[in-house]
Structure formats: C-alpha cells, structure tokens
Amino acid sequence: MGLEKQITGSVSVTHAQIGLIGLGVMGRNLVLNMVDKGFAVAVYNRTAETTDRFLDESPEQRHGLVGCRSLEELVAALELPRAVMLMVKAGDAVDQQIEALTPLLSPGDILIDGGNANYRDTRRRFAAVTALGFHYLGVGVSGGEEGARHGPSIMVGGSQDGFAPVADLFRAIAAQVGGDPCCAYLGPDGAGHFVKTMHNGIEYGDMQMIAEAYYVMRHALGRSPAEIAEIFQDWNDGPLSSYLTEITGAVLATIDPESGEPLVDKILDRAGEKGTGRWASAEALELGVPAPTIAEAVAARALSSLKDERVAAATHYDGLGISDPSPDERDIPVDALEGALLTGKIAAYAQGFAVLSAASNRWDWNLPMDEIARIWRGGCIIRSQFLDTIAAAFERDTGLPNLLAAPDFADIMATRHGELRRVVGAAVAGGLPVPALASALAYFDSYRSGRLWADLIQAQRDYFGAHTFERVDRPGIFHFDWTAEDRA
C-alpha cells in the first residue's frame, strides 16, 4: 500500500480500500477501527473543519488516512472496485449523498449505508442504485461509540456480490466471539437494516424490563441504588449475564460528584428515543405479528416524556399514589425478580424473532435466525450469554415457529413463570407500573392457551359487520343472522 504526503501535511493513501462519509461519533470511530485493523481509509465530511480536526486528533492512525475536501477527491483515492460507506443522518441526507456520488462512480462500485435507515428506504435505494449498475449495501451497525471503535455487531443486507469485496474488512472490524466475527450477510435489499431495527426493538423491551425490575426493588422492596447495583452485579454472573445487566449495575453504583448522592436519583425520568423502536413496533403491526412487549416499551418511553402532565396528575391522584409495601410485597425474593426478568426477556426475544421470521417470509429474504443470534453475541447493545441458547435452538430446528416452543426455553418458562406472576401481581397491587413485564406475562399466557377469547370477538364482528366466522365442529365459513326474531 503506497503512502504519499499531501501539500497540506496530512498523509494520503494512494489507493484506500474504503471511503467513509460522515465523521460523527459512529463514523470517526469506525474509521479508527478500520485503520487499526490495517485498512487504508479515505474520509470526507461536509464540513471540512471536521475532517481537519479528525486528522489532527488521530496522529496514531494518520498513516492509514487521507482527508478529502470533495467527493471527487474521495472517489479518486479509492482502489477498484470503489467502496464508499455513508455514515450520515438517516433520511434525505442519504439520498442527497447517493445523488451526488453516483455520477462519480463506475459500474461495479459499492455504496454502503451504515446508518440507522428505515429498511423500506433501503429497499427503494437498493433498487435505484442497482439499476444504475452499482452495488448497494444496507448495513446495520450496533454497539454505539464503544462498539464502533473496538468491534460492533454488523448486519449486512443488499447485494451479496457487493459484499464480497468488503467482507474481509467488515469481519476484521467486527466484534469477535470465540474467534468468530459478529458480522454476517443476512439477505438482499433491506434485510440488514430490518434486522437492526428489530435488534433495537428487542433492546427497548430489554431495557424497559430491567428498569421495571429496578423500580420494583426501589419502591416495593425499599432497596437503595447501591444495594440494587450489587444485585445486578450478581445477576450478571448468572443466566441474565449481558451487557445491559452489566452497565445497569455500574450505573446504579455511580455517585454524583456534586451532591454525593446516587447519580440515578439526579436524572430526570424522561426517556429519549430515536425512532427505531417505533419502527420495530410499527412493522410488527404491519406484519400482523404480536410484539406487545416491544410496543409497551415504546409506549412507556412516550408516556415518560409527559413529565409535566404526570407531575400534575400525581397531585390529582395523591390518595391513589404508590402504596407502602405490604409484608408480602416486601418478602419478594430477589431470585423471583431474577426469574421474572429472565422469563420476560424470553418472551420479548420470542416476539422479536417472530417478527423477523414474518418479514423474511414476506420479502423472501431467507433470514438465517441462528446466524442473527450469533452475530448479536458480541459488540451490540443486547449482547448476552442468552443468545447462545437462541442460536442453538434455531440451529436444531430451522423451522422453529417461536422461541417459546423451543425445549430449552419451554423448560425455563414452565419452571419460572410463577416468579413473573408474583412480581407483576405485587407491582400491580402496589400501584407500580410494570407495562413490559406485564405484557410479557400476557403474551406467554396467550401463546400457551389452546383456546382464547377470540370466539366472542368473532361473534361480535359477525354481529355488527357480517365478517363471518369459522366453526370448531365442521369446516367452512359461516355467517349468523344474530338479530332474527324467529330462529326455529
């Protein structure tokens, strides 16, 4: 790989293996990761000062970087076939960059969108770019700033031929678990971005249930943040071992340097979100797949944002506030909370993978469920020990309809669902909102019920709208004249 000095004093790579546009938090950390793994990268940012600052702040990586002040310079710095990765804000900015880049590229070059794109946009862009003779990849990158810098989980969708020239690079920068890279090609057009969307949906559910377990410990059991931190630290050595469990223990143990009190108590209880959870919930509804725990987690964040309304409502319902813990509620074992969180987590993952399966069938993606679970084991936000069991379940049964039907998970649910019931029941009795845990329990109970309440719903629908129904005693589609006076 030849290197040469530019007049500006920055180091230029004669033939960079990839170009990256967008030097925000994720973009610049991915670049540093690439250079550390031995790849040469040409970089460009719409604001030239950002590019210059990045080069100045990265002296150890300067040997593998070339800072470009135009798209023409970026394209000229790349070896063939050219690969350009976009790390810009989702939406119009991606379309604008594609429009500006395509006149500069040659057939066979590769455009890569590494942002949090809506998979429907990726499907549209894949079709348009492919028609121009280029390859298009929609790549989900999970792990935040730390993951981008040291090894994310990488979910690739789009052109399989377009992935081949950059496969070694992506596998090298991905997180490694047992020597295996957390990177895989998952399917055509929007497959990679859809998988990332459902990853984020599951993440919403996981985080919400963790927060609810903390809330029960704090307000029903009267535990301090420091005590709860120790509990999460202990849980991280068991079946709940995960990145989110680990950081929850760290967060709750952190002391605010200004007040000397737990920092979590100083944080406003208004959760933010960037839209991917809403996408996941909306796609589940569109596909007709129940994912109530994900939906409840999204709704819970939205409700938390109504801070002023909630404070006002608290004054109106002061007499109905959170009750003092009863003796039974105080006696909830921590093991029961662990079991509640574990079984709730199984239900949430079952929902997420069911949505993935439905989307795979809808778009003919043939998503490899076992491989998705494997590449989520490292780098991403929901990385956990739990994913090994999920991968094994799908490897044993590629046609598995739902994780609740997998023997390993069925055994856990059969053994520990009572702990979820106990926690949800105690929380409801004490006036503590636990929407995600409660929805996980309802999902489990509904899925395991051979007969549900839908017979009455079908009768109602037929009564007011003649929507018809099926019978249990003979095949066919039926309508009944519910208002007829003479039924003889």
> C-alpha angle 437/146/276, rounded to 5°?
45
Q: Does residue 5 have a pLDDT over 50?
A: no
Q: Which of 14-18, 71-75, 428-432 has the highest mean pLDDT?
A: 71-75
Q: How confident is the model at residue 10 (pLDDT cuts 50, 70, 90)?
A: very low
% of the chain exceeding 70 in pLDDT? 94
Residue-level pLDDT at 275 = 83
Segments in 182-291 forming alpha helices (H): 191-219, 225-235, 243-253, 276-287
Q: Does residue 445 have a pLDDT over 50?
A: yes
DSSP category for residue 177 = E
Find tokens 């737990």 and name the residue.
Answer: 262
Q: How confident is the model at residue 7 (pLDDT cuts 50, 70, 90)?
A: very low
Q: Describe the crossing of helices 276-287 and 292-304 by its angle, rounded to 10 degrees.
A: 140
Q: How confident is the model at residue 389 (pLDDT cuts 50, 70, 90)?
A: very high
Residue-level pLDDT at 332 = 78
% of the chain exceeding 90 in pLDDT? 87
What domains lie within the chain, and their CATH numbers?
A: 3-189 (3.40.50.720), 197-447 (1.10.1040.10), 454-488 (1.20.5.320)
Q: Does residue 6 have a pLDDT over 70?
A: no
Q: Tell me if residue 99 is catalytic.
A: no
Single pTM value for the model: 0.92
Residue-level pLDDT at 59 = 83
**Facing residues of 65 across strands?**
41
- 53-92 b/e with 16+ CB inside 10 Å = b? ebbeebeebbebbbbbeebebbbebbbebbbbbbbbebee
**How many C-beta atoms lie closer than 10 Å to residue 450's C-beta?**
4
pLDDT in tens, 301-346: 999 999 999 999 988 887 665 555 555 555 678 999 999 999 999 9
Residue with more model confidence, 4 or 129: 129
Residue with more model confidence, 2 or 367: 367
Residue-level pLDDT at 188 = 97
Please pick, among 196, 283, 329, 338, the residue that the annotation labels catalytic.
196
Token pair of 91 as six digits: 């939406």
Q: What is the DSSP string of 349-387?
A: HHHHHHHHHHHHHHHT----HHHHHHHTSSSSTT-BTHH
Q: Tell me if residue 371 is catalytic.
A: no
Q: Does residue 488 have a pLDDT over 70?
A: no
Residue-level pLDDT at 14 = 58
Residue-level pLDDT at 465 = 96
**Facing residues of 176 across strands?**
181
Residue type, 457: I
The chain-wide mean pLDDT, for the chain, equals: 92
Please pick, among 72, 203, 283, 307, the residue that the annotation labels catalytic.
203
Residue-level pLDDT at 484 = 84
Q: How confident is the model at residue 240 (pLDDT cuts 50, 70, 90)?
A: very high
How far, in Å, CA of 459 to CA of 372, rounded? 41
Q: How confident is the model at residue 8 (pLDDT cuts 50, 70, 90)?
A: very low
- What average pLDDT score do residues 414-431 get? 94
Q: Does residue 132 have a pLDDT over 90?
A: yes
Q: Does residue 368 have a pLDDT over 90?
A: yes
Burial class (CB in 10 A: 0-12, 13-18, 19+), 99: exposed
Considering just the CA atoms, what is the radius of gyration of the chain in Å?
Answer: 26
